[in-house]
């Protein structure tokens, strides 16, 4: 980039790290993998198969027969999808969620950015547990919001008391992800409730990203936050249809929050995208109404892969499995090298592509607790049991 270009570049963008998944993809450019040891890509948590045929058919028919599938729609999403999500959430969580407390977005990342834009501006602070989801940190960095990092130790479970010690007059929210990306851990209901109580007491928002809720190991509701009749004075939930219905390319997510919050969110969404994809929303609605049994089967398959991942690490010496659930395993490697060097070496030495802990938290000399240097995220959801056994075998042979 030339000198003039740098002169007109927003310095906050220049200081923001590049997209980690794109960075990792560059590590495999030009690398040849032998036929007997092909690359196993464990870097991204996204379905690689298309949606079920019935869902695709519903979307195709909408394109052919529904004129409004090609037009602008309501900024906060199609009424039918908002109502369906509200109804299923009310029954699934045992609380009361109304359609006017639901907004549909162009993916869950946009949901986060929209909510955060209504909450915090330059100079404000938002508490992120580490390891964090990198796109959350990137948005805060690009907008000048301080990420107040909450270390979680080897348990990967954030402590409400430690979080309270970080709250200042500039703090606007606490962000939780459960099941967690990148850690894979599921936050206990009591922890979720304690964070709700803390945020309500300190008059800040609690943002709960439940992108992977449909793959939670617990039967029934993973928490009782929606049973509180006043939940929307504090709680903001984010959701994604991408993983559940394999709609990654159609970008459909959701925000569940107070109508007053969504009134402000609408300003952001109208400015950025005007409205979410109509055909994506039609697909999401069809999925919610018709794929309950199919999704239950998908959940069982992911849980079986979690079991296979755990079994693979039980047979490994020196490696430590810190968290495992939904799409992710978060592991500590046994080598003297920093995790980014380990991850790059694993491409050529083991045919494995993973993301290093350096992409999910600060280094020790940047104020971190030393976890980033020693950890890796393994996105195991796209590997079957045999593939995960092969991952374990390759790691057992790795010497760096």
Give the CA dihedral 74, 78, 82, 88, nearest 10 degrees.
Answer: -170
For strands 102-105 and 355-356, give the pairing.
unpaired
The residues facing 105 across adjacent strands are 253
Q: What does the DSSP assignment read for 264-326? A: HHHHHHHHHTSS--HHHHHHHHHHHHH-HHHHHHHHHHHHHHHHHHHHHHHT-SS-EEEEEET
CA-nearest of 283, 316, 371, 329 to 81 is 283
Residue 45: the pLDDT is: 75
Residue 1: the pLDDT is: 47
Q: How far apart are CA 164 and CA 24, in angstroms?
A: 35
Is the pTM value of this prediction over 0.85? yes
Residue 20: the pLDDT is: 85
pLDDT in tens, 1-28: 455 566 788 889 988 888 888 888 999 9
Residue 329 C-beta-side C-alpha neighbours within 13 Å: 27
Q: How far apart are CA 361 and CA 184, in angstroms?
A: 15
Instruction: Extract the tokens encoding 348.
Output: 């050529």
Distances (CA, A) of 355 to 23, 171, 254: 10, 30, 27
Q: How far apart are CA 383 and CA 126, in angstroms?
A: 35
Distances (CA, A) of 392 to 280, 362, 389: 37, 28, 5
Q: How far apart are CA 113 and CA 45, in angstroms?
A: 20
pLDDT in tens, 79-129: 999 999 999 999 999 999 999 999 999 999 999 999 999 999 999 999 999
CA 288, distance to chain mean position in Å, is: 20
375-379 sheet: strands from edge to edge? 320-325, 328-332, 375-379, 355-356
Instruction: Extract the tokens encoding 189.
Output: 């209901």
How many CB atoms are located within 10 Å of the residue 271 CB? 11
Domains, in order of start, for the chain: 3-49+294-397 (3.90.1150.10), 72-291 (3.40.640.10)
Terminal CA-to-CA distance of the chain, rounded, Å? Answer: 35
Q: How far apart are CA 343 and CA 324, in angstroms?
A: 19
Instruction: Extract the tokens encoding 400.
Output: 């760096």
How many CB atoms are located within 10 Å of the residue 51 CB? 25
**pLDDT tens across the length of the chain (400 residues):** 455 566 788 889 988 888 888 888 999 998 999 998 999 999 987 778 889 999 999 999 999 999 999 999 999 999 999 999 999 999 999 999 999 999 999 999 999 999 999 999 999 999 999 999 999 999 999 999 999 999 999 999 999 999 999 999 999 999 999 999 999 999 999 999 999 999 999 999 999 999 999 999 999 999 999 999 999 999 999 999 999 999 999 899 999 999 999 999 999 999 999 999 999 999 999 999 999 999 999 999 999 999 999 999 998 999 999 999 999 999 999 999 999 999 999 999 999 999 999 999 998 888 888 899 999 999 998 888 889 999 999 999 999 8
List of residues 6+ apart from 4 with CB closer than 8 A? none
Helices and strands per DSSP (H, E), number in the chain: 15, 13
| Residue keyed to tokens 């092969």 | 390
Residue 3: the pLDDT is: 58
Q: How far apart are CA 349 and CA 398, in angstroms?
A: 7
| Residue keyed to tokens 């079957």 | 384
Secondary structure element (H or E) that encloses residue 379, with its range = strand 375-379
Burial class (CB in 10 A: 0-12, 13-18, 19+), 385: middle
């Amino acid at each position: 980039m030339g000198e003039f270009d740098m002169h007109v570049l927003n310095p906050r963008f220049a200081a923001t790290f590049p997209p980690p998944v794109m960075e990792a993809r560059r590590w495999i450019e030009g690398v040849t993998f032998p036929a007997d040891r092909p690359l196993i890509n464990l870097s991204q948590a996204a379905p690689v198969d298309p949606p079920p045929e019935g869902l695709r058919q519903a979307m195709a028919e909408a394109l052919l027969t529904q004129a409004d599938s090609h037009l602008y729609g309501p900024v906060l999403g199609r009424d039918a999808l908002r109502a369906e999500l509200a109804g299923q959430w009310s029954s699934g969580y045992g609380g009361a969620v109304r359609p006017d407390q639901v907004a549909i977005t162009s993916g869950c990342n946009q949901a986060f950015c929209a909510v955060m834009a209504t909450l915090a501006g330059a100079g404000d602070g938002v508490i992120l547990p580490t390891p964090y989801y990198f796109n959350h940190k990137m948005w805060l960095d690009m907008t000048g919001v301080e990420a107040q990092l909450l270390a979680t130790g080897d348990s990967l479970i954030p402590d409400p008391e430690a979080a309270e010690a970080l709250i200042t007059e500039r703090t606007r929210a606490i962000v939780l992800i459960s099941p967690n990306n990148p850690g894979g851990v599921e936050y206990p209901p009591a922890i979720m409730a304690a964070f709700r109580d803390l945020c309500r007491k300190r008059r800040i928002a609690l943002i709960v990203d439940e992108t992977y809720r449909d793959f939670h190991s617990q039967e029934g509701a993973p928490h009782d936050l929606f049973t509180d009749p006043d939940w929307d004075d504090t709680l903001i939930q984010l959701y994604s249809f991408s993983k559940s219905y394999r709609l990654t390319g159609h970008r459909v997510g959701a925000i569940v929050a107070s109508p007053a919050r969504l009134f402000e969110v609408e300003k952001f969404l109208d400015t950025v995208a005007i409205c979410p994809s109509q055909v994506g929303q039609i697909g999401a609605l069809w999925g919610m109404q018709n794929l309950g049994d199919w999704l239950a089967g998908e959940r069982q398959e992911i849980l079986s892969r979690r079991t296979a991942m755990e079994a693979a690490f039980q047979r490994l010496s020196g490696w430590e499995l810190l968290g495992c659930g939904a799409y992710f395993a978060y592991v500590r490697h046994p080598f003297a090298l920093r995790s980014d060097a380990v991850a790059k070496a694993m491409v050529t030495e083991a045919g494995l592509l993973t993301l290093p802990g350096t992409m999910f938290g600060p280094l020790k000399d940047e104020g971190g607790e030393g976890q980033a240097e020693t950890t890796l995220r393994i996105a195991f959801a796209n590997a079957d049991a045999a593939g995960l056994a092969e991952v374990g075998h390759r790691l057992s042979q790795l010497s760096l």
